[in-house]
Structure 1
Amino acid sequence: MRALFRAFCMALVLLVSATAAPAVSPDELLEDPVLETRARAISANLRCMVCQNQSIDDSDAELARDLRLLVRERLVAGDTDTEVIDYIVARYGEFVLLQPVMALHTIVLWAAAPVILVIGLVAVFIGVRRRRQDAGAGTRPRGLSRDERKALDKLSGQ
């Protein structure tokens, strides 16, 4: 039992350490440690377009490597962090950001789903109420019209 537990722990440690390793290769690193730190900080906040939920700093995809090199190229050219991020967003869209920008269009996007759900539930509730009212109206006894009364009297012989 101990051996099984140790094997499980080792597998867990290997799994965690394998996913936590950044994918930046040594040939990508900048010589200036300050610029490299800025590049890593920017890369940690950009989404890999191939892997979807990984940063480009953690992804082994070729596109992520290209984006990491582009970030470093822009930093060496003298861009600020904001300018680098704006440049990447201008080329790839806001989806490239791991944390979306809080703007009117994102708020509308997030609010639309619950609003549509509430509208749908209200429509279902109203539909069920109407159906019950219509079904109840068909089973309730109602009075006979004057023509129906005459026809019934004629049939019954009065």
Structure 2
Amino acid sequence: NSYVPQAQFELARVRQEQQQPVEARKLFENVADSQRNELGARARFMSGELLFSDKQYDAAIREFQRLMYGYGGEKADQSVRNWQARGGLEAGRCAAVLAGQEKDSTKQNELVATAQKYFQYVAEKHPNAEEAAAAKQQLQKIGERGIRR
């Protein structure tokens, strides 16, 4: 039934609002794994956002990568590409937070480069997306003085 994934997505949103992130993520992941369309992409994004809000930045980056490069990649429908751009921006933000927390300068530089890669992805692969302007601002900040939290 085509209504089941939509119902699962809505239930996940309810669980999120009820401060039940583990249950919400499971439901979002079910939808993301079963739907190769905008609903699936949106669910993958929401799963990443839950990880981000739980400060699980590495895991969030992996979720956002699955969104960015999955769902048809560059050949995805525009509705999916909008979520891919959002995922790229959030992946960059996650890497930026990790860079800001890192004490080792070598690892910090690697994380800055990773953030830069995600922001460039948004700016170059999704130039017409709303997120492109924010990605370009982040790239400018990196170029000027490194990442600031």
How high is the TM-score relative to the length of structure 1? 0.25
Which one has the largest radius of gyration?
1
More helix by share: 2
